[in-house]
Structures are given as C-alpha cells and as structure tokens.
Amino acid sequence: MTSTVPALGTRTAEGSALQAVLLDMDGTLVDTEGFWWDVEAEVFARLGHTLDESWRHVVVGGPMARSAGFLIEATGADITLAELSVLLNDGFEDRIGHALPLMPGAARLLAELYEHQIPTALVSASHRRIIDRVLTSLGPQHFALSIAGDEVSRTKPHPDPYLLAAVGLGVDPARCAVVEDTATGVAAAEAAGCQVVAVPSVAPIAPAARRTVVTSLEEVDLAFLRGLMTEMR
C-alpha cells in the first residue's frame, strides 16, 4: 500500500462524539461519475461496441474490476480485464487533466474540516494513480490518509476500505461520518458500522437507519455531521 497511515491515536474532534470524516471521491467531492461513463463509452466504441445507457446504473460507484468485468460480459468485447483497466485509467486520467470540476460545497466542507482539525480520509474505489492526480486539485493537506481501490483485497461494497481508514486514523468506525454518492459506497460504509450521509449523484438512494440523504454537499457542514452523532446517543 502506498497510502500514508498515521499512527493510532491521532487527533480527534474534542468535545464531539464525531471522531473522523471519511469521504468518497468520484461523484461525492469531484463531479467525475459522468467522466467514467464517457470514457467507458469511448473505449468500447473503439472496440466496436455501443454501451446501453441502462448499464450506467450498474457500473456507477463500483470497483473497476466489477464495472469493467460487467461491460466485457455485456458487450462480448474481445479484451481482457487487465487490458481494459489500463485503457479506462488512461482515458480518465487524460480527461481530468483537462478539467476536474468539484461538486458544489466540496471545497467549503474540506476547508471547514481542515480548519477545525477533524481527521479526514479519502476512501475511493478508484486506483492509486487516479487518486493521486485528483488529490493535487482537492489539496492533499485536507486528508490525513487516502485509501485506493487497488490497495485493498476487497473494495466497496465490502466494508474493508472504511475499516482500514478508521484503523489508520485510530478512531471507532461507529464514530465516523461517511459521505457517499452511490448505493455501493453506502453499503460499504454501513457494513463498516459508520454513520452515512448519502448525496446521490446518478441513482437515487433511500433514507434508512444510520443513513441521512441530502441533495447536495452544500447542506453538509461540521455542525450537521456532529449532529448525526448526537442523534445516535
């Protein structure tokens, strides 16, 4: 693993039950879910296949192995998973090199968490090479650590990435607020025992126990996240 994992017992939010905030990347902090679909469509067009728009909800938010594997099977394209992964990462990296729009409220939320010294981690199913490119725009100083999809044996929807982030920050997963935009990410965070804020990007997500659904990050600030923990008591 190439992510930097601080020692246990790093700073926590004093005076609050909230110990850390764990944030998804694509579709949550950066407006890139559409980028992935566009790249997938372009790559498969070069292979002689047209993607069905209905497949978009199947592949959104998932690890590349699952998404790319589904598209290979659905189209019957003559390409291996390893070959396709390289093409998709190359295409996405080129696209974010030209533009990387942040989601509304993302910059403000990251700045507030940093100002108040709230331990924060970036937890994504994207590969390390992609995360490191995006971090240059988000500001690496905003994150104590980052977890990439190719650094865990089981990525989302399994709880492993969020559990690893909690261990790295030295916090209790139950006292972590997770912000996610897809059902896959929400499932991972809930399986880890975290309190979840869902900000749906492509497909709707229903409210549930330990899950709050909002329409935009502009509705989320530190007081809001601390309030979620207060409701748990």
Average pLDDT, the chain: 89
Which position has the higher pLDDT, 233 or 213? 213
Q: Is the pTM of the predicted complex or chain greater than 0.85? A: no
| Residue among 186, 180, 179, 189 nearest 159 (CA) | 189
The vertex-178 CA angle with 71 and 110, nearest 5°, equals 105
Average pLDDT estimate for 177-191: 96
Query: What is the rounded average pLDDT of the residues 60-69?
Result: 80
pLDDT mean over 134-149: 95
Integer angstrom CA distances of residue 190 from 101, 162, 174, 215 = 28, 9, 9, 19
Mean pLDDT of 177-206: 95
Sign, CA torsion 165/184/205/133:
positive
The pLDDT assigned to 203 comes to: 86
Whether 49 contacts 73, CB under 8 Å? no
Angle at 201 (CA atoms; ends 199, 203), nearest 5 degrees:
105
| Cα distances (angstroms) measured from residue 139 to each of 5, 12, 195, 213, 223 | 17, 20, 25, 26, 22
Which of 177, 133, 161, 157 has the alpha carbon at shortest distance from 17?
A: 177
DSSP letter (8 states) at residue 102: B
pLDDT at 232 (0 to 100): 64
Q: What percent of the chain has pLDDT over 90?
A: 72
Is the pLDDT assigned to residue 150 strictly greater than 60? yes
Per-residue pLDDT at 61: 67
Judge whether residue 48 has pLDDT over 60.
yes
Strand (E) or helix (H) holding 60: none
Burial class (CB within 10 angstroms; exposed 0-12, middle 13-18, buried 19+) of 213: middle
Q: Is the pLDDT of residue 16 over 80?
A: no
User: Has residue 14 got a pLDDT over 70?
Assistant: no
pLDDT, position 4? 41
Whether 13 has a pLDDT exceeding 80, the answer reads no
**pLDDT value of position 59:** 78
- The tens digit of pLDDT for each residue in 65-117 reads 888 899 999 999 999 999 999 999 899 888 888 778 999 999 999 999 999 99
Query: What average pLDDT does the segment 168-177 reach?
Result: 97
